[in-house]
Amino acid sequence: IWKISVSGLAKKYNIPYAELMKQVKAANIPIPPSGYWTKLAYGKPVTIIELSKPFNEVISMFEVAPTKHKPAPKGLSSPKADSVILKKVEETPVSVTLPQNEPAFTEEPDPIAPADQEHGTIEQYGQTYNVYDRKVLYKEVWAAPITEVAKKYGVSDVTIHKVCKSLEIPTPPAGYWAKVRAGKPVTVIPLPNSGKTDQKRGIRTGVTYQKEVEKETLAFLSEEDRSIILAVAAQIILPDGNAKMHSQIITHRKTIAEWKKRNKENEKTGWNRRNGEPAPFLADALSDDTLLRACRIIDALIKAMEPLGCSLTNDLGFVVNGEAVRIAFSEAQDKNIHTPTKEENLQLLKYEEERKRNSWASKPQIRKYDYVYNGHISLLVHSQKSFRDCKSYVVEERLGDIMIEMYEASESIKNDRKACEDAERRHQEEECRKEEKRKRYNIEVDRTLALTNLAEDYDTACKIRHYIAIVEASGTPDEKAAEWIEWAKGKADWYDPTVAREDEFLGQRNHEEDAEKKKPKHKGYWW
């Protein structure tokens, strides 16, 4: 109990905590007071309550302590039914025998024994505590980043740092893991001797922590291609300063030099830069020294990736797995208070003199700050993942990570392109369906209008024939009337779409056209 607490003992023997406490109190066994484990964890002195005699008494621990039951009222279950739950943890009782000639405890307690061999934990008062072993934790923080170690213990990385500090455990310095990934030599600080305790306890804030399923790097590639790319990324290094750069980089540097020369000449003549030709890639975003750094980084990447089927465009864009992947560079600037130049001081002096004579004197516009490039660069892959100089590393030490990120970006670009192509295809199919529906609708409209026009012509023909019948019935027609009747019947046949007679003068009537278009019209002199 004084080594792993009552809750630890309950967990060890699979006995409910409340039942174990009853049995411990019944056996008159002292338990640690409140605050004991906190003092012990911080290395403070503690007092252990001595065990009363007899020391060699054997006691039995049960899952449920046997108790005497009162007679049950009629209609209720008998005590015999309740005795089924009085099972022992093992076939024989758990016993502890101590020699009479040895004290039960010493003044100094033994180190806390972890319940879990992998990462010791102790349950107490409903809380789970981590048991940090100094040697084990030292090996862990030098085998993996502290953030990963913190996940195993279910706490934050800040907590691990504090525990290491209290146990006098050295931790990897800034930039250690970047050098490890880059294959550079590193120094491991040995574990020093310490007069403090070798173990420490702390609350496990993430007891229910489950390790997140991390996305596998380059999971979209085959195992063979993936292993090759990872191997190349692990070995990529920056070429020597005197090494010849890639031909595309040499050509682009010449383009930048020519653009800067023309731009400088245009500035002398007062040419507005906005109206000039656009700046080539990297021309106006970096200082001259940093431009050389950027070119060397691109050179290292393309020389490692070109044997894998990648290429470099004229404007230093990468083609990875058939997809165009862009990288961008930017350089940080320091904000310094501007020191007026000799010309600016003369302008200010002239302004002060003019202001004394004229109230409308215009003050010269002189900037307050100068923004000076400081050599700290940032590299952005596909406008998403960035790498920048910091205290832990410089961009050149992350070439392998940059290369892997470019392959990841190529897959993302390909997926986005396919998604856009699928969306465009669906849009075109929808437009085709709409166009087909529109055509069918218009055809139906034309047929309906044509039917209406045919019916109107037939109705006109019927009216003419009805009128002819009335004229014939009005009396005996003479020769002139008979001639008119014959002419009228011909016009009725010309109107009737079922007959569709061609007229000598009006020609063939287009019955399906609307009435206005097929209406007989007078002709002028010229038509």
Instruction: Report the share of the chain in percent with pLDDT over 90.
Output: 39
Rounded Cα gap, residues 428 and 418, in angstroms: 15
Rounded Cα gap, residues 425 and 114, in angstroms: 63
pLDDT at position 77: 40
Over 90: is that where the pLDDT of 411 sits?
A: yes
Over 80: is that where the pLDDT of 447 sits?
A: yes
Count of CA atoms in the C-beta half-sphere (13 A) of 98: 14
Over 90: is that where the pLDDT of 308 sits?
A: yes
Contact in structure between 60 and 93 (CB atoms under 8 Å) = yes
Distance of CA 57 to the CA centre of its chain: 64
Over 80: is that where the pLDDT of 78 sits?
A: no
The listed range with the strongest mean pLDDT (351-355, 471-475, 484-488) is 484-488
Question: CB 242: neighbour CB atoms within 10 A?
Answer: 5
Contact in structure between 87 and 115 (CB atoms under 8 Å) = no
Rounded Cα gap, residues 302 and 305, in angstroms: 5
Count of CA atoms in the C-beta half-sphere (13 A) of 354: 11
pTM for the model stands at 0.53
Average pLDDT, the chain: 82
pLDDT at position 109: 35
Rounded Cα gap, residues 227 and 401, in angstroms: 14
Minimum mean pLDDT range among 55-59, 78-82, 411-415: 78-82
Strand partners, 483: none
pLDDT at position 275: 62
Minimum mean pLDDT range among 198-207, 267-276, 299-308, 440-449: 267-276
Nearest Cα residue to 335 out of 301, 367, 381, 357: 367
Average pLDDT, integer, range 115-131? 67
Query: What are the structural domain ranges in the chain?
Result: 1-110, 116-209, 232-413, 422-518
Residue found under tokens 């007989």: 520
Reported confidence tier of residue 100, pLDDT bands at 50, 70, 90: very low
Stronger pLDDT, 274 or 225, i.e. the higher one: 225
Minimum mean pLDDT range among 28-42, 113-127, 190-204, 437-451: 113-127
pLDDT at position 214: 54
Reported confidence tier of residue 428, pLDDT bands at 50, 70, 90: very high
Over 70: is that where the pLDDT of 358 sits?
A: yes
pLDDT at position 402: 94
pLDDT tens track for 3-49: 888 777 887 888 887 778 888 888 888 888 866 776 777 677 888 88
Over 80: is that where the pLDDT of 482 sits?
A: yes
Over 80: is that where the pLDDT of 526 sits?
A: no
**Longest CA pairwise span in the chain (Å):** 162
Rounded Cα gap, residues 466 and 434, in angstroms: 48
Stronger pLDDT, 51 or 272, i.e. the higher one: 51
Stronger pLDDT, 457 or 359, i.e. the higher one: 457
pLDDT at position 293: 92
Burial profile 142-170: b = 16 or more Cβ within 10 angstroms, e = fewer = beeebeebbbebbbeeebbeebbebbebe
pLDDT at position 171: 93
pLDDT at position 324: 95
Minimum mean pLDDT range among 101-115, 198-212, 234-248, 393-407: 101-115
Alpha helices in 100-204 (DSSP H): 134-143, 146-153, 157-166, 176-181
Residue 137 CB partners (closer than 8 Å, separation 6+): 149, 160, 163, 164, 167, 169
Stronger pLDDT, 271 or 148, i.e. the higher one: 148
Over 80: is that where the pLDDT of 233 sits?
A: yes
Alpha helices in 95-222 (DSSP H): 134-143, 146-153, 157-166, 176-181
Stronger pLDDT, 59 or 137, i.e. the higher one: 137
Nearest Cα residue to 183 out of 147, 141, 225, 237: 237
Contact in structure between 4 and 113 (CB atoms under 8 Å) = yes
pLDDT at position 298: 95
Reported confidence tier of residue 95, pLDDT bands at 50, 70, 90: very low
Rounded Cα gap, residues 259 and 267, in angstroms: 12
pLDDT tens track for 205-225: 764 444 444 567 899 999 999
pLDDT at position 42: 64
The listed range with the strongest mean pLDDT (57-61, 101-105, 381-385) is 381-385
Contact in structure between 219 and 404 (CB atoms under 8 Å) = no
Minimum mean pLDDT range among 82-91, 155-164, 476-485: 82-91
pLDDT at position 281: 92
Over 60: is that where the pLDDT of 239 sits?
A: yes
